[in-house]
């Protein structure tokens, strides 16, 4: 009886430690959401202040405008929502854009004719500022002449998945500006759930590759495995771009969390329905992510687990049907994309060098310790060929697509390698494989030195988010120099 009580007490203390760790981690993820920024008329950072978070840059506002349309108007026509923000002081695009007709702002839209079910996927980057009304009227007149269109509406040229999923959670904030705050906190919550699945994945592989027969040593190794799993979860959470994107309204934090959860449930827990559902929701948010439905389906065929086929297909069907129906409503076709006309591929080697090493859009300058994932991959090849094939199948196709896609070969716009964020967790996992069998103290010191450097870079990007938009990691030094000069100027005037 006493032995059982001791075992229970030890398990309880481990659970408390895990709960404390994730509570602390959640606090780290929550704090940056209160650091906000004001811009001047030239869209330069004017000051930082404490407040609730909102969408800021890039594609974020253009995903968000569809979200507010779904919640407030119960439709996906966004012409009135853009107008409400740009010209009438609303917050349908973002509260930061209220009454802001800066000519650098534009609409990410396509024109649809609801009566004829016709869509015109035009990249209207010229549709901005004070030229908006004139340009739009000319475009509608041309479409009326060419296609006999009587009603023309604006819809997003981005996938519907992120706005639709967010609207399911954020509808209680209907007709308020709190929808925007809620959208960011939803991203934080989804990202945090992804970290939990990463921890479980690390723990599984540590137990798998460190089998101990001696009962006396077993408890020691279990404690070590727990600490290592927690440590590498902290490394992913705080020393990579995952932290920065957790407080944005891009699709990447969702895709990263969905891929982690699907991998754990599918590969480790042998489930099929939920992985299919998660991957297809990711597909509804970013269509290239749909390749994982094919990759995971190939895993089933490779391992000849025929009973898993039906649950996997059933799980994936709902979001796929929803996307197809949305495409049919817009264009009369179930397979259509506003950006499919730009689907061209270039030099893969050029793209991968850029995405890994470029000082602004590269992966490694912002998380240099990830280079150790190559050593982990090398070890995995010799130790567990099946897991090697599984992980390389998860990483390489997605990496190949974005590094050879011509529109993204010179960056995605944002902080570091935005489109590769779903792969970072698997690169950290490969680094874990290297660490758990490494005996070289010098390499270990270099690894943790690079981890510390990565933490310094990414904590800056998490708290000073807009400063690092399309900038290298050392931009903070230039920012401080600029602010110091301004302080000196004010001092001299005083």
What integer pLDDT is reported at residue 114 of this predicted model?
86
Instruction: Give the Cβ contact number of residue 150 at 10 Å.
Output: 9
Statement: residue 311 has pLDDT above 90: yes
pLDDT of residue 88: 77
Q: 79 Cβ partners below 8 Å, 6+ apart?
A: 109, 153, 154
pTM (2 d.p.): 0.90
Residues 405-426 have a mean pLDDT of: 82
How big, in percent rounded to 5, are the helix, strand and coil portions of the chain? 70, 5, 25
Q: pLDDT tens digits, residue range 277-296?
A: 999 999 999 999 999 999 99
Q: If you write DSSP's letter for every residue of 416-478 in order, what string do you get?
A: SSGGGHHHHHHHHHHHHHHHHH---HHHHHHHHHHHHHHHHHHHHHHHSGGGGTT--TTHHHH
The pLDDT value recorded for residue 130 is 47
Residues 6+ apart with CB under 8 A from 135: 124, 126, 127
Tokens 């604006």 correspond to 154
3-state secondary structure 219-284: HHHHHHHHHHHHHHHHHHHHCCHHHHHCCCCCCHHHHHHHHHHHHHHHHHCCCCHHHHHHHHHHHH
Amino acid 99: pLDDT:
43
390/486: higher pLDDT: 390
- Three-state DSSP at 345 gives strand
pLDDT of 363 > 80? The answer is: yes
pLDDT tens digit string along 214-241? 555 666 677 888 999 999 999 999 999 9
pLDDT recorded at residue 103: 44
Average pLDDT, the chain: 85
pLDDT in tens, 456-482: 999 988 998 887 888 888 877 776 666
pLDDT confidence band for 489 (50 / 70 / 90): low
Which tens digit of pLDDT belongs to each residue from 103-133? 445 778 888 888 888 888 765 555 544 455 5
- Interval 193-199 mean pLDDT: 97
| 57-71, 219-233, 340-354: range with lowest mean pLDDT | 340-354
The neighbouring-strand residues paired with 113 are 118
DSSP string, 384-417: -HHHHHHHHHHHHHHHHHHHHBGGGTT--SSSSS
Residue-level pLDDT at 351: 79
């Amino acid at each position: 009886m006493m032995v059982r009580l001791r075992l229970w007490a030890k398990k309880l203390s481990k659970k408390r430690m895990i709960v404390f760790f994730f509570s602390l981690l959640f606090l780290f993820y929550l704090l940056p959401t209160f650091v906000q920024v004001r811009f001047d008329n030239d869209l330069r950072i004017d000051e930082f202040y404490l407040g609730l978070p909102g969408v800021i840059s890039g594609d974020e506002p253009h995903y968000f405008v569809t979200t507010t349309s779904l919640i407030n108007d119960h439709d996906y026509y966004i012409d009135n929502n853009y107008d409400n923000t740009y010209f009438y002081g609303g917050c349908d695009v973002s509260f930061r854009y209220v009454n802001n007709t800066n000519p650098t702002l534009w609409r990410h839209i396509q024109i649809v004719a609801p009566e004829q079910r016709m869509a015109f996927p035009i990249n209207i980057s010229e549709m901005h500022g004070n030229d908006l009304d004139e340009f739009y009227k000319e475009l509608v007149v041309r479409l009326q002449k060419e296609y006999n269109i009587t009603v023309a509406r604006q819809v997003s040229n981005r996938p519907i998945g992120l706005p639709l999923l967010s609207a399911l959670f954020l509808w209680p904030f209907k007709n308020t500006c709190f929808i925007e705050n809620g959208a960011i906190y939803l991203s934080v919550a989804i990202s945090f759930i992804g970290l939990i699945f990463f921890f479980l994945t690390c723990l599984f592989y540590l137990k798998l590759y460190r089998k101990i027969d001696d009962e006396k040593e077993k408890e020691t190794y279990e404690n070590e495995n727990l600490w290592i799993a927690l440590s590498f979860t902290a490394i992913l959470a705080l020393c990579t771009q995952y932290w920065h994107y957790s407080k944005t309204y891009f699709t990447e934090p969702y895709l990263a969390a969905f891929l982690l959860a699907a991998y754990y449930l599918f590969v480790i827990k042998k489930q099929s329905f939920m992985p299919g559902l998660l991957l297809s929701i990711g597909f509804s948010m970013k269509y290239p992510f749909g390749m994982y439905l094919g990759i995971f389906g190939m895993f089933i065929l490779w391992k000849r687990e025929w009973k898993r086929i039906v649950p996997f297909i059933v799980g994936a069907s709902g979001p796929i049907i929803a996307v197809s129906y949305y495409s049919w409503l817009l264009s009369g076709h179930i397979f259509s994309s506003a950006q499919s006309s730009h689907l061209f591929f270039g030099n893969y080697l050029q793209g991968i060098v850029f995405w890994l090493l470029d000082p602004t859009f590269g992966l490694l300058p912002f998380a240099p310790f990830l280079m150790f994932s190559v050593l982990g991959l090398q070890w995995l090849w010799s130790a567990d060929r099946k897991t090697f094939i599984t992980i390389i199948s998860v990483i390489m196709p997605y990496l190949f697509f974005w590094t050879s896609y011509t529109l993204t070969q010179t960056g995605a716009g944002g902080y570091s390698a935005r489109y590769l964020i779903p792969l970072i967790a698997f690169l950290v996992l490969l680094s874990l494989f290297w660490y758990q069998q490494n005996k070289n103290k010098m390499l270990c010191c270099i690894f943790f030195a690079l981890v510390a450097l990565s933490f310094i870079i990414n904590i800056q990007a998490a708290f000073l988010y807009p400063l690092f938009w399309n900038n290298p990691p050392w931009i903070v030094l230039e920012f401080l120099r600029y602010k110091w000069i301004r302080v000196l100027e004010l001092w001299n005037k005083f």
